[in-house]
Structure 1
């Protein structure tokens, strides 16, 4: 059976880890190079993994539709199935837990762009193509300094504080990229056996900034305080810091409790357990070279497996 994938955005958060995961599982991995003919690159592949996004959300309004057009053309030409790491922007302020049947009511420009993108992939699925949307919350990866968790929230951890980007008590869902890409590999083995759309929510790990601070304090054996992210200052920073301007649009997501319903995921992967907040904290501290108080009372495995 064909075990060849084309990964778009292999230099990004999801794409780089997905490439390692697919190779480790015995797949042949092709890297798409921006500016080349995607239709040609996709010929002979079984899956197109579209993890391509403009850096720092740059020019989403134009680039996301352009990328989508190229992916759709490549899928139709090659007959390849398509997998997209989808986000939660499309739901806006809809009450959760969010699931495949939750209405899309985006309340931001980026949410609208993603919702329009997803509709085009739904049209592809309606033609009898296999399309998987693997939907998750914010990515976390202890090895990547550019995730928001590392770049902003844990930036001042050595000074004994974290930065809350919203209400400290709001519980949000996060996806460890190592876990999520294992799920992507498992889906690639069989999700194209039936045509149509699979909109699969990944429940991930859910915690608040307060719970994060408490877990950090327990593992470090010291007090960890919480400071609030200076959203007001972004009004001044936005002309020169593109990421700041783009983040401000998504502020609402940091102030609201949210969760992804895991019922469909559990039906497909009944034995899979996402990493706990304890494990995520341990891995982030380890990568930062910060000593953890011994004998935390629980042995933590080094990885999750399907």
Structure 2
């Protein structure tokens, strides 16, 4: 089999550019020489030279805003989600419908960060792309419907790539477990909360690796099926303790004494009926109680290998980027 042919760089529209994966894919697109357009209510991405970006003020919930921003674009990165699991029922599917309509109108490929919410425990512990999607929560059902709409759109000529991975971590704080539970961005590491069940493995995904994987798939997108799904192995924590212990060890190397404590799921359960974000986080706790590892065989067959940063380097860079360690000396 001959290697895939790399496609030329083009113009990409990024939706959700202020989120974790959105900001990282924006950075890597710019580094690779792509022209990047961002649709955003208020233009600003930390660590990115705003002058390099074609900013368009607008809202992914407005179909015409997305359509106008997508003009002349080859790729639409759909990395937008309601923050804190709020109003998913009202917003997630309309936003993907707007992206699909815009991609159809301009002939763009949709690039989507997938979630593991789509799968129920019957598919665990090793989940491949073809595994049946029987979600256990309303959020998983919404994400399954989102991907179903992408698959249906492929029959109408709309191309899409879904890259699914474990829980995000990286130098930028965002809506993820690493920065919202395990540590506190901007502070020394004193207490590390561990949401996992002892002895149960867990999948993590380093954001720069996720974006690098997406970039590699974009380069060969012409060779892919109209609707292509890929799973990343990412960083596998075999016993649910490796991530927290790595954070603790690296913090100690920088003179910080940290202790690991169990995440207070019991308290979350008490508060869940009164707070939407906590309630929906509570419903997802099964993902921490059983091992879920993603099978990256298809990805490796397509790319040759999965982009992968060494575990300690990824964790230390994440802690440093989030202000928990001193900046590296020049």
Q: TM-score range by the shorter chain?
A: 0.7 to 0.9
Distance of 2:67 and 2:273 partners within structure 1 = 37
Q: Tell me, yes or no, if structure 1 residue 20 matches structure 2 residue 27.
A: yes
Structure 1 distance, partners of 2:293, 2:273, is 33
- TM-score normalised by L of structure 2: 0.81
1:139–1:174 Cα contact (<8 Å) kept: yes
Q: Distance in 2 between matches of 1:248 and 1:92?
A: 15
Corresponding residue for 1:68?
Answer: 96
How far is the alpha carbon of 1:97 from its aligned partner? 1.2
RMSD over aligned CA atoms reads: 2.4
Alpha-carbon shift at residue 286 of structure 1 (Å): 3.0
The 3 A distance-change label for structure 1 pair 28 and 251 is: same
- Distance in 2 between residues matched to 1:42 and 1:159, nearest whole Å: 42
Residue 194 of structure 1, CA deviation: 4.6
Retained in 1: the 8 A contact 2:13–2:77?
Answer: yes
Give the structure 2 partner of residue 233 of structure 1. Answer: 267
Q: Please say if 1:57 is aligned against 2:88.
A: no
1:10 alignment partner, one of 13, 17, 21:
17
**Is the 8 Å Cα contact of residues 203 and 261 (structure 1) preserved in structure 2?**
yes
Shift of 1:55: 1.0
1:92 aligns with 2:99: no
Per the alignment, do residues 154 and 70 of structure 1 end up closer, same or farther by CA in structure 2, a change over 3 Å counting? Answer: same
Superposition TM-score, scaled by structure 1 size: 0.87
Paired residues, what number? Answer: 292
Tell whether 2:273 aligns with 1:243: no
The equivalent of 1:203 in structure 2 is 233
In the alignment, which residue of structure 1 is the partner of 2:49?
Answer: none
Any unmatched runs of 5+ in structure 1?
292-306
Once the two structures are TM-superposed, the CA of residue 195 in structure 1 deviates from its matched residue by: 4.7
User: Structure 1 residue 2: deviation in Å?
Assistant: 6.1
Matching residue of 2:292: 258
Taking structure 1 as reference, are residues 141 and 2 closer, same or farther at Cα in structure 2, changes over 3 Å only?
closer
Alpha-carbon distance between aligned partners in 2 of 1:43 and 1:2, rounded to the nearest angstrom:
16
1:134 and 2:163 are equivalent in the alignment:
yes
SS in structure 2 of the partner of residue 37 of structure 1: helix
Are residue 178 (structure 1) and residue 185 (structure 2) matched? no
* Alignment partners' CA distance in 2, 1:289 and 1:59: 31
Residues of 1 paired with 2:319 and 2:65: CA distance? Answer: 42
Maintained 8 Å contact 2:20/2:174: no
